[in-house]
Structure 1
Amino acid sequence: MATIITKDGTHIFYKDWGPKDGQPIIFSHGWPLSADAWDAQMVFFADHGFRTIAHDRRSHGRSDQVWYGNTMDQYADDLAELIEQLDLRDIVLVGHSTGGGEVTRYVGRHGTDRVAKIALIGAVPPLMLKTEANPGGLSIDAFDGIRKGTYDNRSQFFRDLTLPFYGYNRTGSTISEGIREEFWRQGMMGGLKGQLDSIRAFSESDFHQDLKAFDKPTLVLHGDDDQIVPIGAAALSTVKIVRHAVLRIYEGADHGLTQTHQDRFNADLFDFIIA
């Protein structure tokens, strides 16, 4: 297992596939998953000559389960340490859901000197929580429900969450029990404390100032039937801040579109990267 050790002593697991001299793509996963969520993308892009890297966020997957530091700032700093310890440059940063927040906060805290392009996929910025200034967000009650479901019966909650996550609760959808089981497996690898903390991190972090620091080509890609991260408060708001961003909307697509629309997504991300 490949790991880095952060400044606070946390072991962060990562995968590093493809030619080491290829342009690096770093994939940041969503909650409550792990680097394994990106396996198909890592193989696809490694086969096309890219160096593909994905890490397990602290308290997720195979990384250390820590009591402290499960915050968006620390996630971004962990990503920075991974980049610096591997001495990566000319990077394409790709973040899905919470991973999109991690990537965005990285840019806000560490800049874009090592970055070539950015892709935000079903991502949580600029702010998920409904506030007076963000009326299109979700009520705190929704996130309290996620917290309670995760705390009370995490195993069953994760199984149930796959239905709206992949749009399997929609009429006419084709359900993959394998995808559902894989989501559950990855979720159950993480630590309960860190996953509970992460709910606050992805729902209450305000990324408006971080997005203003974006000065590299940016792709914002979202499904318009995303039941987890509604497009209005997310992608449609992000492109009002990152005005040079390319917005791509998948009509009828769900939150887990990197899997449910895998071939289309891989092709669109490839076209963005090589353009």
Structure 2
Amino acid sequence: MGYFVDVEPGVNLFVEDINPGGSKTIVFIHGWPLSHKQFEYQFNVLPAMGYRCIGIDWRGFGHSDKPIGGYNFDRLADDIRAVVAALQLNNFTLAGHSTGGAIAIRYMARYNGYGVSKLVLIDAAAPTGFTTETANKLLAETLNDRPKMLQGVTDTFFFQYITVPFSDWFFQMGLQAASWSTAAIIILLRDENLMADLPKIVVPTLIIHGIHDRVIPFTQAQELKQKIRNSVLVPFQYSGHGPFWEERDKFNQLLTQFIDYEAMIV
């Protein structure tokens, strides 16, 4: 089921809640500039296995409201906390991709991981995001020819071949976002650093990263592994920035194993 959650006056986030009666809950935070729909190939499978899957569109993206402000890590983490409170979630796995991974890290640091039993970081844009050069190029394109920018992102996102219809679907997902929120997140990823947040993460953490990632280098996943206690890094050998699609069977199996077993995966 889909519904809206009020996170502050005048701002509502769209939440997709699949299999609310599931025995274990996974909260998915999408990447920039997409929406919860990027996890379609998890939502197809995991609820049928008994998991409750919750996809959240951040402010400015997908079906959520698109205010002119609030695009900083604190506010985005506050939005997640508001959804957790509204849905009365506890003992859930928090899974964030790319910028969603960065938001998840700030949530863990800002709220002492409230309600989270396990953390999954998927090609996370952390501890840093874009280089100044990359960010400035993306920003200029966003403000002058956003469709061109989105096509470029789509073209560099995957390591494996994608069909033209799939590329079109991915492209249209990015166009759902507001131009101002798209630009604001580029600036955020250019200017912010999450290094100080990492020691505050204490729950078991699974780090997944495609070794061919051209958006967020694999070396950043190795840095996360060094800085986050009780973490394990699993390289995805045939993925770029989208292992949730490129190696979806392996991704789904690894995710469920991590959630179901008490011992860390090695």
TM-score in terms of structure 2 length: 0.94
**Offset, 1:21:** 4.7
* Cα-to-partner distance string for 1:67-116 (whole Å, 9 max, x where unaligned): 11011111110000000110000010000000000100001111124111
SS of equivalent to 2:54: strand
Gaps of 5+ in 1: 130-137, 168-172
Residue equivalent to 1:268: 254
Residue equivalent to 1:132: none
Is 1:94 the equivalent of 2:95? yes
Is 1:166 the equivalent of 2:158? yes
Distance 2:10 2:151 in 1: 33
Compute the RMSD of aligned alpha carbons. Answer: 1.4
Does the 8 Å contact 2:108/2:114 carry over to 1? no
Distance 1:92 1:211 in 2: 17
Residue equivalent to 1:204: 191
2:164 counterpart (177, 190, 198)? 177
SS of equivalent to 2:45: helix
- Compared with structure 1, are the counterparts of its residues 50 and 175 closer, same or farther at alpha carbon in structure 2 (3 Å cutoff)? closer
SS of equivalent to 1:83: helix
Does the 8 Å contact 2:199/2:229 carry over to 1? no
1:230 counterpart (208, 217, 241)? 217
Matching residue's letter, 2:140: K
Distance 1:268 1:87 in 2: 26
Distance 2:128 2:148 in 1: 27
**Offset, 1:272:** 1.0
1:192 counterpart (148, 155, 179)? 179
Question: How many residues are matched?
Answer: 260
Residue equivalent to 1:250: 236
**Offset, 1:264:** 1.2
Matching residue's letter, 2:44: V
* Cα-to-partner distance string for 1:17-55 (whole Å, 9 max, x where unaligned): 014252210000000000111122123221111111011
* Cα-to-partner distance string for 1:170-223 (whole Å, 9 max, x where unaligned): xxx533222211111111111000110011223332111221111111001101
Is 1:38 the equivalent of 2:24? no
* Cα-to-partner distance string for 1:222-256 (whole Å, 9 max, x where unaligned): 01110000111x21111111132011011242001
Is 1:213 the equivalent of 2:200? yes
- Percent identity at matched positions? 28
After superposition, residues 74-93 of structure 1 pair within 5 angstroms as: 74-93=75-94
Does the 8 Å contact 2:238/2:247 carry over to 1? no
Residue equivalent to 2:142: 150
Matching residue's letter, 2:216: V
Distance 1:43 1:197 in 2: 31
Distance 1:161 1:115 in 2: 31
Gaps of 5+ in 2: 262-266
TM-score in terms of structure 1 length: 0.91
Once structures 1 and 2 are overlaid, which stretch shifts more, 110-119 or 196-205? 196-205
Matching residue's letter, 1:108: A
Once structures 1 and 2 are overlaid, which stretch shifts more, 91-100 or 197-206? 197-206
SS of equivalent to 2:118: strand
Does the 8 Å contact 1:101/1:202 carry over to 2? no
Does the 8 Å contact 2:13/2:59 carry over to 1? yes
**Offset, 1:147:** 0.6
SS of equivalent to 2:145: helix
After superposition, residues 31-70 of structure 1 pair within 5 angstroms as: 31-70=32-71
